[in-house]
């Protein structure tokens, strides 16, 4: 945990210049390139239509965390979008490994992407598109900065409704983020750090890049409907099973989340991150709670356990 706090750059230290590229390596159209040279055609439907799926795994101290789960979700998404990857799973693992090794980062944020690509004849028929695989490794980043990890985030509940699952299947990790970005602006407008948006039934869904959990009477709950089944969310279920805490996926109302004993969010970008205020009101006593702290510690401990992580380069 302290190691994490030291490693995460504060918001001010991050890049805000759009012309600057993070230090990293990408794999694109058969070549390894510095991030600044990894460019795709503006005609790629991944860009024009958000017709793409992706996954993000992280590396911590030279080890991938739960790589198999990320690959399973990525391959499932590609298949459900009727795309075809030009490489098999083993080759993709070696590309991701190369990106990390060439970047020189010991802790990294590693993304794999499959876009629809475009049709060589400019046909509008997606069946004729040549799908494109892209991967990259850049420095590890987090939804929450150091101070927010210590004191907890302030989250605002936006009226924005997440795109319905019947329109875009949330189990396929996607870039349909206009709802999440709108939620984020709503949150900034009221002075909060980030947002939670609603599902089509008015329950709490998820936020920009994270799932959410509440703890009430030592039982955990996370929304079941209309959300990405996050790998960090799955990791919380697995940790709870190990330590004998009950965790279920079921609807959460606004009143329930505000009346919880503890609230935290989960993402590959930062792990388990405490929330101590919602819509300007403190959650319980306004401090990071014991269940959240215990899960945060366990989460980072698992990063060098071979059952949960794999070395980037096998010894």
Site of interaction with ligand PLP (CB under 6 A): 56, 206, 209-211, 228, 230-233, 266-268
> Nearest approach, Cβ of 89 to ligand PLP (angstroms)?
18
Residue 124: which of 41, 47, 43, 53 has the closest Cα? 43
> Nearest approach, Cβ of 35 to ligand PLP (angstroms)?
19
> Nearest approach, Cβ of 165 to ligand PLP (angstroms)?
12
Burial label, 30 (beta-carbon count in 10 A; 0-12, 13-18, 19+): exposed
Our CB check for ligand PLP shows the closer of 129 and 236 to be 236
Question: What is d(CA 249, CA 237) in angstroms, rounded to the nearest whole number?
Answer: 9
Q: What three-state secondary structure class fits 48? A: helix
Our CB check for ligand PLP shows the closer of 181 and 241 to be 181
Our CB check for ligand PLP shows the closer of 267 and 276 to be 267
> Nearest approach, Cβ of 228 to ligand PLP (angstroms)?
4
Our CB check for ligand PLP shows the closer of 32 and 60 to be 60
Question: What is d(CA 224, CA 50) in angstroms, rounded to the nearest whole number?
Answer: 24
Question: What is d(CA 32, CA 23) in angstroms, rounded to the nearest whole number?
Answer: 14
Determine the residue with CB nearest ligand PLP: 230
**N- to C-terminal Cα separation, the chain:** 26
Our CB check for ligand PLP shows the closer of 97 and 266 to be 266
Q: Which residues contact 43 (CB under 8 A, 6 or more apart)?
A: 118, 122
**Are the beta carbons of 300 and 3 closer than 8 angstroms?**
yes
> Nearest approach, Cβ of 130 to ligand PLP (angstroms)?
26
Our CB check for ligand PLP shows the closer of 139 and 209 to be 209
Q: What's the full length of the chain, in residues?
A: 315
Look at strands 153-161 and 194-198 and give their pairing. Answer: parallel
**Are the beta carbons of 257 and 204 closer than 8 angstroms?**
yes
Our CB check for ligand PLP shows the closer of 70 and 154 to be 70
> Nearest approach, Cβ of 234 to ligand PLP (angstroms)?
8
Residue 213: which of 221, 202, 205 has the closest Cα? 221
CA-based diameter of the chain, in Å? 62
> Nearest approach, Cβ of 217 to ligand PLP (angstroms)?
25
């Amino acid at each position: 945990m302290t190691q994490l706090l030291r490693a995460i750059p504060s918001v001010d230290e991050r890049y805000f210049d759009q012309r600057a590229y993070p230090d990293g390596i990408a794999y694109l159209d058969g070549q390894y390139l510095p991030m600044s040279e990894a460019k795709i055609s503006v005609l790629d439907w991944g860009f024009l239509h958000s017709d793409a799926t992706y996954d993000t795994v992280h590396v911590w101290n030279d080890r991938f965390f739960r790589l198999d789960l990320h690959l399973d979700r990525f391959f499932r998404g590609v298949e459900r979008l009727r795309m075809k990857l030009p490489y098999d799973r083993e080759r993709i693992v070696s590309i991701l490994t190369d990106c990390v090794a060439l970047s020189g980062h010991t802790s990294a944020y590693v993304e794999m992407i499959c876009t629809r690509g475009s049709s060589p004849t400019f046909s509008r028929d997606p069946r004729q598109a040549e799908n494109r695989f892209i991967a990259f490794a850049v420095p590890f980043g987090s939804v929450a900065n150091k101070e927010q990890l210590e004191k907890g985030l302030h989250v605002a509940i936006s009226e924005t409704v997440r795109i319905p699952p019947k329109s875009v299947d949330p189990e396929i990790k996607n870039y349909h983020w206009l709802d999440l970005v709108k939620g984020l602006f709503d949150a900034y407008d009221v002075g909060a750090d980030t947002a939670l948006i609603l599902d089509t039934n008015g329950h709490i869904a998820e936020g920009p890049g994270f799932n959410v959990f509440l703890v009430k009477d030592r039982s955990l709950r996370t929304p079941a409907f209309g959300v990405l089944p996050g790998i960090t969310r799955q990791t919380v279920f697995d940790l709870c099973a190990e330590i004998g805490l009950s965790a279920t996926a079921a609807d959460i109302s606004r009143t329930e989340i505000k009346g919880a004993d503890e609230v935290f969010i989960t993402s590959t970008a930062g792990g388990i991150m405490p929330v101590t205020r919602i819509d300007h009101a403190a959650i319980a006593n306004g401090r990071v709670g014991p269940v959240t702290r215990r899960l945060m510690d366990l989460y980072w401990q698992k990063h060098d356990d071979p059952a949960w992580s794999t070395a980037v380069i096998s010894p």
